Amino acid sequence: MADQEFAYFLGCIMNNRYPGIEKSTRILFDKLGVGLKDMEGASCCPAPGVFGSFDRTTWASIAARNITIAEDQGNDIMTECNGCFGSLYETNHMLNEDEEMKEKINKVLAEVGREFKGEIKVRHFAEILYNDVGMDKLAEAVTKPLNLNVAVHYGCHFLKPSSEIDIDDPIKPTILDELVELTGAKSINYKDKMMCCGAGGGLRSRDLDVTADFTKEKLTNMREAGVDAIVNVCPFCHLQFDVGQVETNDKFGTDFEIPVFHLAQLFGLAMGLGGDELTLDAHQVCTDSAMEKCWDFSELDEITGGE
C-alpha cells in the first residue's frame, strides 16, 4: 500500500478556483501513505462539453497527450473531477479499443513528439479511496468525526457510462454514501438524487438559465430532505452548487444557502483541518453553518449516539 503512487491530474477548476480541495487531498494522501506525483505540463482534460462536442479528434488528442505524461511516469492517473475523469477515461478506453482511432490520434501526437501507448489506467479519487486504500485504513484517518447530515451528489461522469466504467450501479450506487458515512456524517436520501447538477455538456456556458433550473430542482429536493451540506466528487458540480446556487437565488428569487464540500474537503474536516486550509472562504455560499455544526455533538443522545 505504502509504495503505491499515482499521477495526480489537477485539471482546471479545482486547482485554479478551489485550491482547498487540492490541499486537503495532498494532506489526506500523505497521511494514507499513497504517493501523488505531479503531472508536469498537464493541460485541461479537455472539457468534454466544448471539445468533445466541437471536435472529437481535438478532444481525444489533448486528452491523450495528458495520458502520455502519466505513461512516461509509469503511474495510473488519479483525478478528483468527474469531467476530467470522463474525458481521460473515455479517451483511454476508446484508444485501447479502436485501433484506427489510436493511429489517427498518434499521428497528431507525433507532431509534439508523443505517443499514446495504452499502458496506464485512469482512476477516480473516490474509487481509489474505496477500493485501493480501503475503508478500514481510511477510517483511521478520521480523527474528528463529523456530525452532519449531507446530500451526496454523485454527478454524472463518475459512474456513467457504466458499460465502460463499471465502478458501481449507476442508478442506485452506494460507494459515495459509504465514504461519506465513514467521516461520521450521515448521507440523507433525497428525491432524484442521481440527477445532474445542470452544468455539464457545455450547458452552463451555453444557457445559464436552463442550468440554473436544474440546480434549483436539485437544491429544492436537498432542502426538503433537511440536509446541512452538499458533498460532491467533482469540482465542476462543486462550482455549480456553489456559484450556481447564488445564480439560482438571483434568477428565481429563492433563498438557498446550503454549504458545499468536495469529498476531499469533507475528509479534510474529518482530519481536523480548518476552514482556512480548505479555502472555504473562497466559496460563494457561506459554510459557517456546517462548520459550526460539524463538530458539535451536544444535541445527540449520549447513549445511542443519535441513532
Partner 1 sequence: MLGGGNDTEEQKETEEQQSETEMKEEGTETTEVKEEKTETAEKTEPEAKAEEPVKKEPVEEEKEDTQKTQEITKEKSESEEKTKESEKKPEVEEKPKTKRSDSMTLLEGREEDTLTRDNIDENFKQEVMDAGAETLALCFQCGTCTGACPSGRRTPYRIRQIVRKSVMGLKEQVISDDTLWMCTTCYECQERCPRGIKIVDIVKIARNYAAKAGYMGKAHKMVGSFVLKTGHAVPINPATQDLRKAVGLDELPPTTHSFPGALEEVQKITKSTGFDGLIGYNWEKGELE
Contact 18, 238 (CB under 8 A): yes
Tell the smallest beta-carbon distance from residue 109 to partner 1 (Å): 8
Backbone phi and psi for residue 262, each to the nearest 5 degrees, phi listed first: -75, 150
Residues 52-71 that bind partner 1 (CB under 8 A): 52-58, 61-62, 65
Nearer to partner 1, 184 or 235 (CB): 235
Residue 35-54 contact track with partner 1, rule CB under 8 A, x = bound:
---xxxxxxx-xxxxxxxxx
Nearer to partner 1, 182 or 230 (CB): 230
Please give the Cα distance from 138 to 271 (Å, whole number).
11
Angle at 271 between CA 143 and CA 136, to 5 degrees: 60
| Among 152, 165, 69, CA closest to 123 | 165
Binding segment for partner 1 (CB under 8 A), chosen from 34-42, 115-123, 139-147, 259-267, is: 34-42
* Cell matching residue 144: 474528528
Name beta bridge partners: 150.
187, 229
Binding segment for partner 1 (CB under 8 A), chosen from 71-79, 127-135, 190-198, 249-257, is: 190-198
Residue 16 binds to partner 1 (criterion: CB under 8 A):
yes
Residues 122-151 that bind partner 1 (CB under 8 A): none
Nearer to partner 1, 82 or 147 (CB): 82
Residue 279 binds to partner 1 (criterion: CB under 8 A):
yes
Nearer to partner 1, 2 or 112 (CB): 112
User: At which residue does the C-alpha cell 509534439 appear?
Assistant: 112
Residue 93-122 contact track with partner 1, rule CB under 8 A, x = bound:
-x---x---------xx-xx-x--------
Residue 202 binds to partner 1 (criterion: CB under 8 A):
yes
Q: How many residues does the chain have?
A: 307
Total residues interacting with partner 1, rule: CB under 8 A: 72
| Among 285, 267, 265, 260, CA closest to 275 | 265
Nearer to partner 1, 145 or 170 (CB): 170
Residue 269 binds to partner 1 (criterion: CB under 8 A):
no
Distances (CA, A) of 71 to 48, 120, 279: 21, 6, 32
Please give the Cα distance from 34 to 54 (Å, whole number).
37
Residue 251 binds to partner 1 (criterion: CB under 8 A):
no
